[in-house]
Amino acid sequence: MTIKNTATAQWKGGLKDGGGSLSTGSGTLKDVSYDFRQRFEGADGTNPEELIGAAHAGCFSMAFSLVLGEAGYTADSIDTEATVTLDPDSLSVTAVHLVTRGKVPGADQAAFEEAANGAKDNCPISKLLNAEITLDATLEG
Domains belonging to the chain, first-starting first, are 7-40 (no CATH), 48-139 (3.30.300.20)
What pLDDT does 96 receive? 96
pTM of the shown model: 0.91
Which pLDDT does position 130 carry in this prediction?
A: 84
State the burial class of residue 77 (Cβ atoms within 10 Å of its Cβ: 0-12, 13-18, 19+). exposed
pLDDT surpassing 90 at residue 66 = yes
Q: Average pLDDT of the chain?
A: 95
What residues contact 90, with CB distance under 8 A and at least 6 apart?
Answer: none
For 81-117, what is each residue's pLDDT tens digit?
999 999 999 999 999 999 999 999 999 999 999 999 9
Residue 138 has pLDDT above 90, yes or no: yes
Query: With 90 as the cut, is the pLDDT of residue 131 above it?
Result: no
Name the residue among 4, 129, 126 with its Cα closest to residue 60. 126
pLDDT tens column, 14-30: 999 999 999 999 999 99
**pLDDT score, position 102:** 97
SS3 53: helix
For residue 31, the Cα-to-chain-centroid distance in whole angstroms is 21
